[in-house]
Amino acid sequence: MTDHAIVTGAGTGLGRAMALKLSAAGCHVIGVGRRVEPLESLEDEAPGAVTTVSADVGLPEGRQAVADAVPADGQLRYLIHNAGVLEPVGPLSDVSLKDWHYSQAINVEAPLFLTQLLLPRLIGGRVLHISSGAAHRSIPGWGAYCTSKAALHMLYMVLRDELAEHGVAVGSLRPGVVDTPMQALIREQPEDRFPAVERFRELKSSGALHDPDAVAGFAVHLLTEVDAERFVEEEWEYDQHRR
Ligand SMILES: NC(=O)c1ccc[n+]([C@@H]2O[C@H](COP(=O)([O-])OP(=O)(O)OC[C@H]3O[C@@H](n4cnc5c(N)ncnc54)[C@H](OP(=O)(O)O)[C@@H]3O)[C@@H](O)[C@H]2O)c1
């Protein structure tokens, strides 16, 4: 029986690396993103093993398109909520409702309602939230991102407790600072919108960023090798456990 895995935000960065590692581990991967080009190049890298869906997981119709792409046969073994956006960047004192909702729709609503939609297919499977250190501390200029990741962390804890009886294991991973397009975007921010930007530029120039492949390897280890009880019991931190 084929094991299917869904990775959101699979066209670039950490999601792309996780999609390729999961396909190498024998899963059929459904990679999701909005832009078609990175998804096509992902399919080219793992022909047949990765299929992709261009969809916005922040919208109900996008989530339905993801659900429709799961083949009727086989088991949906893994659902990885990795799609995320940093923006809007800047002080909360001037954030617009539209920009605020953009962030919350992708970073918070999408994981909740995609899990909900796929629940009947996920029995016996695992869900992994890609969290952030920003869920646990205030970072001026990242108010929308910090708030959304804090909400995602609480979703992980509540869904973990509620879905255990359905046989679905919900885990969470803090990847640390990873060398992806999101980090490139962070380094481009003006200091008046994001006061700590220089620290992120220095992390890059000193070679301190994690390789997405290494973090993806750890995520796949958690999904495929760690027993379900340990998988759910704490939010994993790549920085604490890297091998
Ligand atoms: N890099 C880090 O240092 C770091 C640290 C902590 C946590 N994280 C988290 O890691 C995850 C992956 O980020 P990354 O660093 O790999 O950056 P990234 O390359 O920007 O990846 C984000 C991916 O999400 C996709 N995406 C965004 N909105 C989407 C939507 N509405 N529907 C479908 N796909 C969407 C993007 O593709 P499209 O734009 O084509 O849709 C992109 O491929 C994020 O949740 C991020 O918050 C990253």
- pLDDT confidence of residue 212: 98
Active site residue 149: yes
82 lines ligand 1 (CB under 6 A): yes
Asked if residue 242 has pLDDT above 80, the reply is: no
202 within some domain: no
Say what the pLDDT of residue 85 is.
Answer: 98
pLDDT at 1: 80
Any long-range contacts for 27-30 (C-beta under 8 Å, 24+ apart)?
A: 27/2, 27/3, 27/77, 27/78, 28/2, 28/3, 28/4, 28/71, 28/74, 29/4, 29/5, 30/4, 30/5, 30/6, 30/66, 30/69, 30/70
Confidence of residue 243 (pLDDT cuts 50, 70, 90): low
Does residue 25 sit within a domain? Answer: yes
Q: Is the CB of 136 under 6 A from ligand 1?
A: no
Tell me the average pLDDT across 31-39.
98
Beta bridge partners of 173: 130, 236
- How far, in Å, CA of 131 to CA of 83, rounded? 11
Whether 14 is in a domain gets the answer yes
Is residue 154, in this structure, part of any structural domain at all?
yes
Flag whether 31 is in a domain. Answer: yes
State the chain's mean pLDDT as an integer: 97
pLDDT at 241 (0 to 100): 86
Helix axes 143-163, 97-104, angle to 10 degrees: 40
| Residue range 149-177: mean pLDDT, rounded | 97
125-139, 184-198, 229-243, range with the lowest pLDDT? 229-243
The residue from 145, 148, 156, 238 that is catalytic is 145
State what percent of residues in the chain have pLDDT above 90: 98
State if residue 172 touches ligand 1 by the CB under 6 angstroms criterion: no
The type of residue at 191 is: E
131 in active site: yes
Looking at ligand 1, which residue's alpha carbon is closest to its atom 6?
Answer: 132
Residue 181: inside a domain, yes or no? no
Is 167 inside a domain boundary? yes
Contacts (Cβ under 8 Å, ≥6 apart) of 218: 173, 236, 238, 241, 242, 243
- Domain annotation covers residue 108: yes
Q: How many domains does the chain have?
A: 1
Give the pLDDT mean for 213-232.
97
Please, which pLDDT band fits residue 193 given cuts at 50, 70 and 90? very high
Ligand 1 atom nearest to CA at 107: 45
Name the band, by pLDDT with cuts 50, 70 and 90, for residue 152. very high
| Percent of the chain at pLDDT exceeding 70 | 100
Residue closest by Cα to atom 41 of ligand 1 = 34
What range defines the domain where residue 168 resides? Answer: 3-176+211-241
Q: Tell whether ligand 1 has an atom less than 6 A from the beta carbon of residue 33.
A: yes
> Environment class of residue 91 by beta-carbon count within 10 Å: exposed (0-12), middle (13-18) or buried (19+)?
middle
CATH code, domain with 26:
3.40.50.720
Q: Each residue of 71-98: pLDDT tens digit?
A: 999 899 999 999 999 999 999 999 999 9
How large is the average pLDDT for residues 117-125? Answer: 96
